[in-house]
Amino acid sequence: MYYDRPMTKLADKVSILDGAEGPELDLVEGEGEARAIVWPGVGAQARSLHRVWLKPGARMVEQRHPGEAAYYVIAGGGWVVDAADGERQPLRQGSMFHVDDGTAYSAQAGDEGMELIGGPSPADPALYEGLS
């Protein structure tokens, strides 16, 4: 096949990131942890992905971003909570939730705990203050 421009190696354009090794984020109340995986520190500007592990009864701190956010439930279950009115919707393994820009929200683990991956898009710089 003919290409009219020079080929670039895949390694120049793709980063392989460890989903458990990013910098820790202060996003969990109770037992658990949150880590930035895709974030401005790895060169991402238009998207962020955080991995969040919540033990039973733990929750993410209330968040509100200038852009939207989306999360996928890898394991366990719980609820996503609209911080404005306290309404909560159930989450289970395999479900996703989307949050409109400017909406205050949180996620809370049920009896099994919950593992999530997701985050704001575009990346929310306020979440990474103080990280190198």
Residue range 61-95, pLDDT digits in tens? 999 999 999 999 999 999 999 999 999 999 999 99
4: in domain: no
- pTM confidence score: 0.86
Q: Flag whether 26 is in a domain.
A: yes
Contact 61, 26 (CB under 8 A): yes
**Average model confidence (pLDDT) for the chain?**
90
Range of the domain at 81: 22-128
Within a domain: residue 15? no
Question: Phi/psi at 18 (nearest 5 deg)?
Answer: -80, 120
pLDDT at residue 14, as a whole number:
78
pLDDT in tens, 108-118: 999 999 999 99
Count of other CB atoms within 10 angstroms of residue 21: 9
Identify whether 54 is part of a domain.
yes
pLDDT band at 8 (very low <50, low <70, confident <90, very high): low
Instruction: Give me the CATH number covering residue 120.
Output: 2.60.120.10
On whether residue 97 sits in a domain, the answer given is yes
Q: Domain tally for the chain?
A: 1
Is there a domain that residue 35 lies in?
A: yes
DSSP E strands: which ranges in 10-67? 24-25, 28-29, 32-38, 49-54, 59-60
For residue 42, is it within any domain?
yes
